[in-house]
């Protein structure tokens, strides 16, 4: 049974804050193990990657090519069921359409004093996409990470995925080909992150690494950031639902469980001003949980990290949600448009009874790679902008230069940077002053 809170209680703020701070996920300290793997791959390249792949995944790869001829994406994709291929094609096209609409325009303007200012957008040269592998089957994650990169115009897209005992999902293989993968290496773990960062064998370094992984992958991304770009350091998934009696308790129970079945560390929270509604949802959830094939995972998530919160109003519910800053927020209420302006922090918002978060995981087109663990307070979900760079551009004629020079030299003097001052003054044929 999930925990219950009431925002009208005198100790609510303290108790709920304490609840949100409870650790979720693997508490194992992976830092030193990951550091050793990164250092070894940086020093030994493909030999180290091959050794770790044999050790952890029981799969032999060539130290130079980082490949095994038995692992063929095209052959695997050919075994993907037709109905799954059709669904992947459908999702791919919606994701591409959504991200094409995000494409920004280059811009320039004249400041009226002789300066032309602006910016232009250019794609990254290369991106590495990490995909959970083995028996894990997440073609949606392949699409969410690869399609925006392709739409942005990234020249080189590299996919890595662990293949324990030589196993990779046919759906993942088909999604990768559909999304336009150009290189694939059957490697995973911290060693794959290291190979993408430093290069190893035939795998040349990339400019940015995106995609989800286990605790070792996450820690490796954290440690290589700065040498290479990363999307985010992600934590366990989460959903917050603000609900009222206009939406069936059975529907909301299903939505809460759809998040809980992800992982024992996932978090599902329901907030409502209606105590009877909370009771009805809890009863529905218990009934659904009893027959859920993923009951073992979902029950741990719900009992350990789940919560039901009685709010004083919908406005109060939104403020509680802002404190959570959830990865996913469902406004499962009669008139969600009346509350959306009260939402300040959320990775993605799903409006109304007919927009369950599960749709966003697959086919709305919006990206499902979103900030977790409260990071929605300062971060956004993955999108086209993650695969683009903005370059500032400025040009000046003599009038523009003269308009700016005095202030520039004064600031240079105040910062005790005489070469900066001279860089301006010399253009007047003198060492300083106008």
Q: Using CA atoms, how far apart are residues 91 and 89, in angstroms rounded to an integer?
A: 6
Q: Using CA atoms, how far apart are residues 385 and 390, in angstroms rounded to an integer?
A: 9
Residue the block writes with tokens 């971060």: 379
pLDDT in tens, 52-111: 999 999 999 999 999 999 999 999 999 999 999 999 999 999 999 999 999 999 999 999
Q: Using CA atoms, how far apart are residues 372 and 235, in angstroms rounded to an integer?
A: 6
pLDDT in tens, 394-422: 999 999 999 999 999 999 999 999 999 99
Query: 3-state SS of the chain: helix, strand, coil percent to 5?
Result: 45, 15, 35
Q: What does the longest C-alpha to C-alpha distance in the chain come to? A: 84
Q: Are 76 and 168 in contact (CB under 8 A)?
A: yes
Q: Using CA atoms, how far apart are residues 202 and 137, in angstroms rounded to an integer?
A: 27
| Three-state SS at 106 | coil
* pLDDT at residue 172 in the model: 96
Q: Where are the alpha helices (DSSP H) in 231-291?
A: 249-260, 275-290
Length of the chain: 434
Domains of the chain in start order, with CATH, are 31-230 (3.40.50.1980), 235-380 (3.40.50.1980), 397-434 (no CATH)
Nearest Cα to Cα of residue 159 among 139, 371, 151: 139
Indicate the burial class of 300 (C-beta count within 10 angstroms; 0-12, 13-18, 19 or more).
Answer: middle
Q: Using CA atoms, how far apart are residues 278 and 354, in angstroms rounded to an integer?
A: 19
* pLDDT at residue 181 in the model: 94
* pLDDT at residue 72 in the model: 94
* pLDDT at residue 433 in the model: 47
Residue the block writes with tokens 């804050």: 17
Measured at the alpha carbon of residue 213, what is the angle toward residues 207 and 214, in degrees to the nearest 5?
135
Across 74-224, where does the E strand assignment appear? Answer: 107-110, 115-123, 126-130, 156-160, 183-185, 208-210
Query: Of 219, 282, 327, 330, which residue is the catalytic one?
Result: 327
* pLDDT at residue 315 in the model: 98
Nearest Cα to Cα of residue 166 among 22, 47, 68, 55: 68
The number of angstroms, rounded, from the C-alpha of 68 to the middle of its chain's C-alpha atoms is 30
Residues of the chain with pLDDT under 70: 26-27, 134-135, 430-434
Query: Of 328, 357, 368, 421, which residue is the catalytic one?
Result: 328
Helix (H) or strand (E) holding 169: none
Q: Is 431 one of the annotated active-site residues of the chain?
A: no
Across 161-197, where does the E strand assignment appear? Answer: 183-185
Q: Using CA atoms, how far apart are residues 38 and 46, in angstroms rounded to an integer?
A: 12
Helix axes 139-152, 170-179, angle to 10 degrees: 10
Q: Are 24 and 305 in contact (CB under 8 A)?
A: yes
| Three-state SS at 9 | coil
* pLDDT at residue 14 in the model: 97
Instruction: Kindly report the number of other CB atoms within 10 A of residue 295's CB atom.
Output: 16
Nearest Cα to Cα of residue 33 among 162, 214, 198: 214
What distance, in Å, lies between the first and last C-alpha atoms of the chain? 75
Instruction: Kindly report the number of other CB atoms within 10 A of residue 108's CB atom.
Output: 12
Nearest Cα to Cα of residue 287 among 277, 299, 275, 297: 299
Q: Is 107 one of the annotated active-site residues of the chain?
A: no
Phi, psi of 11 (to 5 degrees): -100, 15
> pTM of the prediction?
0.93
């Amino acid at each position: 049974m999930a925990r219950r809170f009431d925002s009208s209680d005198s100790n609510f703020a303290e108790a709920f804050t304490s609840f949100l701070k409870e650790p979720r996920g693997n508490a194992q300290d992976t830092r030193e193990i990951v550091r050793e793997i990164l250092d070894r791959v940086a020093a030994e390249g493909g030999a180290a990657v091959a050794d770790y792949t044999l050790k952890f995944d029981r799969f032999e790869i060539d130290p130079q090519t980082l490949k095994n001829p038995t692992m063929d994406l095209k052959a695997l994709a050919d075994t993907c069921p037709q109905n799954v291929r059709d669904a992947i094609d459908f999702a791919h096209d919606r994701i591409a359409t959504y991200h094409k609409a995000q494409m920004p325009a280059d811009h320039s303007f004249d400041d009226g004093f002789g300066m032309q200012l602006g910016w232009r957008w250019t794609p990254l040269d290369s991106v590495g996409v990490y995909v959970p592998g083995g028996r894990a089957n997440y073609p949606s994650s392949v699409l969410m990470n690869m399609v925006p990169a392709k739409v942005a115009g990234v020249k080189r897209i590299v996919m890595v995925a662990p293949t324990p005992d030589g196993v990779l999902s046919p759906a993942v293989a088909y999604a990768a080909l559909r999304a336009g993968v150009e290189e694939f290496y059957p490697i995973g773990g911290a060693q794959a992150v290291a190979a993408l960062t430093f290069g190893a064998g035939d795998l040349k370094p990339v400019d940015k690494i995106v995609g989800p992984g286990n605790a070792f992958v996450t820690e490796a991304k954290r440690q290589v950031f700065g040498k290479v770009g990363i999307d985010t350091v992600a934590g366990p998934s989460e959903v917050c639902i603000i609900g009222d009696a206009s939406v069936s308790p059975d529907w909301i129970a299903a939505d809460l469980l759809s998040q809980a079945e992800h992982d024992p560390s996932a978090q599902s929270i329901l907030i409502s001003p209606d105590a009877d509604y909370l009771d009805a949802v809890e009863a529905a959830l218990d009934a659904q949980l009893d027959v859920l094939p993923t009951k073992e995972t979902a029950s741990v998530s719900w009992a350990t990290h789940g919560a039901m919160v009685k709010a004083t109003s919908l406005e109060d519910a939104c403020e509680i949600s802002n404190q959570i800053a959830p990865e996913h927020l469902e406004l499962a209420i009669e008139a969600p448009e009346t509350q959306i302006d009260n939402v300040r922090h959320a990775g993605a918002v799903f409006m109304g009874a007919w927009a369950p978060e599960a749709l966003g995981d697959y086919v709305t087109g919006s990206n499902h790679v979103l900030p977790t663990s409260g990071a929605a307070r300062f971060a956004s979900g993955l999108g086209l902008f993650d695969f683009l760079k903005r370059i500032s551009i400025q040009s000046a004629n003599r009038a523009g230069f003269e308009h700016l020079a005095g202030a520039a030299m004064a600031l240079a003097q105040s910062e005790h940077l005489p070469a900066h001052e001279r860089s301006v003054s010399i253009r007047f044929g003198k060492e300083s002053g106008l």
